Every structure is written in C-alpha cells, then in structure tokens.
Amino acid sequence: MPTEPAVILFDGVCNLCNGFVQFVIKRDAARRFRFASLQSDTAQALLKNLPAVNYNLQSVVLLENGQYYRQSTAALRILRHLSGGWPLLYGAIILPAFIRDGVYNLVANNRYRWFGRRDSCLLPTPELKTRFL
C-alpha cells in the first residue's frame, strides 16, 4: 500500500478534464487520489521535480509511488484503482503506447472544441477541499 496518496494533475479549465476528476472522485472509495490543476503553482512545483519532459496542458499526469505517468498510461492506471468495472479497462495497457497515446492525443487535441472550456479552474466544494492540493 502506498504511504502517500497518488496525485492527478489535470487541465483545470478543460470541461472534459474536470468531468474526469469528478468521475474519479465519485469512484475513489479508498480516497487514494489527490488533485491539482496543471495551471496551479502546486502542480508546477511538483513537475519541476520530474525529469525534463514536455508537460503541456494536453496531458494528464499521475504521480504515484515516486513514479510519474502521462497520457493513456496515466488514465489507465487511474481507472485501475476505481470501484466498479473500471479496473477491467486497465487490460488495454497491453496495447502499444503509440496506439493508446494516438487515441489519447486525438481527444486531447480536440477537447476544447468537443467539450468546451471554463474561464477559470475548478473550485472544489468545502467537503472536497482536502482532496485538492
């Protein structure tokens, strides 16, 4: 069992990304995950501790057990820990990353057009505030 919660970094103005965070919160019975917007100072500080990789707002980032994951790998690893049948989707990890990430990038590159965007980052409710960094 990890000693620290896993952290999901997400695009805070993206409606799809915010919907995904709400989806995870509802299915994270173990309260395994904490969240931070990629636009936040907290996320930027966390990213500075990682190897130099192009972290743009196109990719969700999962920090888990001292490791970091991006794009489809991050999404699948997150789904693996949710309640319900969602962990079954982790089986897609056997697909080559270039295929998984190709689909991920198609959605990521069109997410504002398809799902819209907010003018500001998500503000958590008082009861969810402890889940956000």
Q: What are phi and psi of 59, to 5 degrees?
A: -130, 135
Inter-CA distances, 61 with 24, 56, 78, 93, 125, Å: 14, 10, 10, 16, 23
CA angle 31, 14, 122 (to 5 degrees): 55
Q: What is the pLDDT at residue 85?
A: 94
Interacting residues of 42 by C-beta distance below 8 A, sequence separation 6+: 36, 133
CA 44 to chain centre: 15
Q: What is the pLDDT at residue 119?
A: 72
Per-residue confidence in pLDDT tens, the chain, 133 aa: 556 789 999 988 889 998 999 999 999 999 999 999 888 888 888 888 777 655 556 689 999 998 889 999 999 999 999 999 999 999 999 999 999 999 999 999 999 899 988 776 666 666 676 777 6
